[in-house]
Chain A
Amino acid sequence: MSFSVIHSLAMIAVVSICTMLLRAFPFLVFGGRKDVPELVRYLGAVLPASIMAVLVVYCLKEIQFQVLADWVPAILASLLVVILHVWKKNILLSITLGTICYMVLIQVVF
């Protein structure tokens, strides 16, 4: 194992505290008030969709488009997830089959 235990513990603590603060933020700010500002409501409604799309790009960031064995499995498995989810609307099914498909493609096919 090539990692520092203290650094890892500190990192888990940092991630934990930041996550807690984010979740507590609306309660700290608006806990004493009745109405939430319009701008905050607006961002609350539209920002999650942008964030999740950026995160999909984040997951696929290491793909090399010059290497066939790199991008074909990722694109095929991603398409399968989209199609399955539009069709069956079952989170577990979409994620499981998509992941199995990807694993088979990169381990066996390519």
Chain B
Amino acid sequence: MLNKMEVVQKRRRNFIFAFRQSIPVMLGYIFLGIAFGLLLQDAGYSFWWALLSSVVIYAGSMQFVLVTLLTGGAGLLYAAIMTLFINGRHIFYGLSFVEKFKKMGKCYPYMIFSLTDETYSVLCGTKTPEDLNEDKVFFWISFLDHCYWILGSVIGAVAGSYITFDSTGIDFSMTALFIVIVVEQWQSTKSHFPAILGAVCGIVWLLLLGPDRFLLPALCSCVVILLIARGSSMKEQEAV
């Protein structure tokens, strides 16, 4: 009997610890989710669409782009290519957790599915106390983050149909999110070359091709130039 109570208590402590870790994401996701839900609702889609997108896609910046793809009548192939480029960075997040997630048994697929920018950074920064179960803590953090995102987007979509305030300009929250991430990356890295390269490539291709077609060439040229830059810096090292 006592043993059973200990198990329940330990479970609860795993959950509470995970909840504390997830609080910064909770605030951000609910707010951004509301912005997404409002946008989708403004575009003429009822809250079921927001719910569905947030459950099965679960990628903040891509879902904002999704709204423009849906309203702009984009083709499926174009949507696929945009997703590969915009979410391409996700390829690199998993690299840090290949060993860890493999050991998590039935949670393994969900942990991979739910590895967003924010969940990635929280998991990287989580130091689980020794008396707790790290696998359970990781799962709860990922799951709670997902719930916040779904909750926010549904609130946004539902509130959007009842509260009638002028939401013109709320899409700036996506711009603000990206700017915040750029600032954070800028401060946490020594070399600012990649960020400057991205801005320059973006602006140059925008001027050359215009707003509708510049994104893919800009991203491709970033990859190529970064690879060339690495090749030349390796040669310099070899020469020394």
Are B182 and A53 in touch, CB under 8 angstroms? yes
Say yes or no: is B240 at the interface (Cβ < 8 Å to chain A).
no
Are B172 and A58 in touch, CB under 8 angstroms? no
Are B185 and A52 in touch, CB under 8 angstroms? yes
Are A12 and B52 in touch, CB under 8 angstroms? yes
Are A81 and B180 in touch, CB under 8 angstroms? yes
- Pick from B83, B102, B182: contact of A14, CB under 8 Å: B83
Q: How large is the interface on B (under 10, 10 to 19, 20 to 34, 35 or more residues)?
A: 35 or more
List, in ascending order, chain A residues with CB within 8 A of B76's CB: 7, 10-11, 14
Nearest CB on B from A26, distance (A): 4
Say yes or no: is B47 at the interface (Cβ < 8 Å to chain A).
no
Interface residues in B25-64 by Cβ distance below 8 A to A read 27-28, 31-32, 35, 44-45, 49, 52-53, 56-59, 61-62
Say yes or no: is B130 at the interface (Cβ < 8 Å to chain A).
no
What string of 1s and 0s marks CB contacts (under 8 Å) between B177-220 and chain A?
A: 11111111111010111111111011100100001001100110
Residues of B within 8 A of A (CB): 24, 27-28, 31-32, 35, 44-45, 49, 52-53, 56-59, 61-62, 66, 69-71, 73-74, 76, 79-80, 83-84, 86-95, 98-99, 101-102, 112-113, 115, 166-170, 172-187, 189, 191-199, 201-203, 206, 211, 214-215, 218-219, 222-223, 226-227, 230
Are B113 and A23 in touch, CB under 8 angstroms? yes
Say yes or no: is A67 at the interface (Cβ < 8 Å to chain B).
no
List, in ascending order, chain A residues with CB within 8 A of B215's CB: 54, 58
Are B198 and A49 in touch, CB under 8 angstroms? yes
CB-based closest 3 A-B pairs:
A53-B198, A57-B202, A44-B92
Interface residues in A52-93 by Cβ distance below 8 A to B read 52-62, 73-74, 77-78, 81-82, 85-86, 91-92
Are A56 and B175 in touch, CB under 8 angstroms? yes
**Extra pairs beyond A8-B70, A15-B66, A49-B195 (7, CB < 8 Å):** A3-B73, A14-B76, A44-B92, A48-B89, A50-B195, A57-B206, A98-B172
